[in-house]
Amino acid sequence: MKPASVNMLCQNCRETYWTLIRQLGHVQLPALRSIMLKQARIGNPAHTPNKGNAPLPINTRAQDLISESEAWLAEQAGKIRAAYAAYDWRKAWYAIISNKHTILTMSTAADDYAALEHIARRNEQALTPDEAMVVIGTCPKCGHQATSTPQAETWTCPDCKWQGGVQAIKAERDNKLWQLEYTGKPVEVARYLAKMDIHCTSGQIRQWLTRGKLHATPTKHKGEYVFNLGEITAMLDCHN
Ligand SMILES: [Zn+2]
Ligand SMILES: [Zn+2]
């Protein structure tokens, strides 16, 4: 039996790797390109200063992300057959898709997978509007704020590259919510919690206040309270 090479992927990684490859050509690249086309049609080239509006993060990044994604596809296609490296991205992607076994068992597979993971994560982030990003907590190693898309299962710190499960980071954050206070109206605290992917309505919060379930202290401003965030999340846990 051959010894397992360091660059061999386990079955689990192979499946994830294949999903990322499919998504790249099927979803991410077409979406990034359509955003680029729309920008071109609107006639808002990157060098023109935006009039009044804050530029979307996609404006500055889409072209870079497309180039990086296409370069990855060209490189992999070129490993199947040297001539494929010159293919346009769609043909390169098809060549990869129709050579599944070759790609997954390639001697460079682990490195290629790591490179693609990085590319796919950046693409996903660029394709997710900022409002849809949630604060899941902080990096346990360096304390950097951890934001991700609501569906993400793992998180990599952009600062120190620490990697871990989203659920664990959230659990750690939720433990600390008891030490956190938020001053504002029910609608404001609901909005604040939504940014942390904790969902309750201002109506629920008002109801808990009326029933004396929350020990929120009213401030001198009408309708405003000092809330304990742990108390609110505890209410949600037993009512969902
Ligand atoms: Zn693995
Ligand atoms: Zn970190």
Are 23 and 121 found together in one domain?
yes
Of 165, 133, 123, 195, whose CA–CA distance to 156 is shortest? 165
* Residue 121 and residue 21 in one domain: yes
Domain boundary among 108, 127, 146: 127
142 part of a folded domain: no
Q: Is residue 146 part of a domain?
A: no
3-state secondary structure of 140: coil
What are 32-80's pLDDT values in tens digits?
Answer: 988 877 665 444 444 444 444 444 444 457 888 999 999 999 999 999 9
Instruction: Among 127, 145, 162, give the residue marking a domain's end.
Output: 127
Residue 41, Cβ density class (10 Å: 0-12 exposed, 13-18 middle, ≥19 buried)? exposed
* Residue 24 within a domain: yes
pLDDT tens track for 176-216: 889 889 999 999 999 888 888 888 888 889 989 998 989 99
Q: By the 8 A CB rule, do 169 and 136 touch?
A: yes
- For the chain, the domain total comes to 2
Q: How far apart are the CA of 190 and the centre of ligand 2, in A?
A: 28
Mark whether 195 and 116 lie in a shared domain.
no
Residue 101: which domain range?
11-127
- Residue 157 CA to ligand 2 center (angstroms) comes to 5
Q: In this structure, what token pair is assigned to residue 15?
A: 């499946």
- Regarding whether 194 and 107 lie in a shared domain, the answer is no
The environment of the single-atom ion ligand 2, i.e. residues with CB closer than 5 A, is: 139, 141-142, 144, 157, 159-160, 162
- For 146-175, the pLDDT digits (tens) are 988 888 889 999 889 899 999 999 988 888
**How many angstroms separate the CA atoms of 171 and 174, rounded?**
5
Ligand nearest 146 Cα, by number?
2
**What is the distance in A from the centroid of ligand 2 to the CA of 27?**
29
* Alpha carbons within 13 A on the beta-carbon side of 182: 19
Domain assignment of residue 132, yes or no: no
